[in-house]
A = this chain, B = another copy of it.
């Protein structure tokens, strides 16, 4: 039996392109003891993957040249050599960019069975998966959003940002999003229920974006869930109230090597701000509570989301490059079956 996979063919010097990926057909390996063979239904594409293409110091090891690209997946077990897992089980796992994945099911959390009877399968890669938990941890444990506060979130229509805003709204916050383009902004306000959404592409400099934020957040900003960095972060920091909190989740504006300076660090002192970078996989103890709340929210329709679905593994690189430029609309997935 063979399957297709996508490996890292070369490391980007600056902007990532199609030439950095290679599609291969390989023999599906035999399943060792303790392992399972998973047929992947959906592959999740996420901004963090861009960082893993670089050979730079970060929180996770880079993907090796010639190695399969990392990625979260949801699929079905077709063969099991580990008790507790059986063919037909639906699982979430880090299967990577490939059609079939052999995974060590003995490692805690690596292969996680899910009940797909009440929720769409793809939601376990979005609002009821890593992106949703990322939002939940940021809102509840880093920002600690409280009723009456103003919370700003960038990449607001995305997999993480959309959940951030809906969780903060449910807490009684005023929620302001930033997104690229009128269509996304309209969706964020009308469908997701944010109080306002700024099309950052219309305000390309500090003063203009700052003025737009002043109008959308007239009481200033108490909490910021940051996915973008750069200009957006500098503008939001300049509008923060005393004791504001910033959950630093991503800096997609700098993944190709652009400057990510915080221009006016004096503000951190004069406004007594807290900035904290975090990685959701380092808060595993919070996952069960988060997944329970998020699953209920999605099942009852309280938490809404949108997906961009590319068809077939070969479409993954282009979909991923589009994600880095904000061409997706909502959670970016690749459907493999």
Contact = CB atoms under 8 A, between A and B. Distances in A.
B261 A248 contact: no
Given A59-B242, A261-B263, A248 B277 contact: no
Contacts of A264: 260-261
B275 A268 contact: yes
Given A59-B242, A242-B59, A265 B274 contact: no
A251 interface: yes
Interface residues of A, number: 33
Could you say how many copies of this chain the assembly holds?
2
B277 A250 contact: no
A207 interface: no
A35 to B, nearest CB: 30
A118 interface: no
Interface in A262-314: 262-266, 268-279, 282
22 contacts: A57-B270, A59-B272, A229-B265, A229-B266, A233-B265, A250-B269, A259-B263, A260-B264, A261-B262, A261-B263, A261-B265, A269-B277, A270-B277, A272-B276, A272-B277, A272-B282, A273-B275, A273-B277, A274-B274, A274-B275, A274-B277, A275-B276
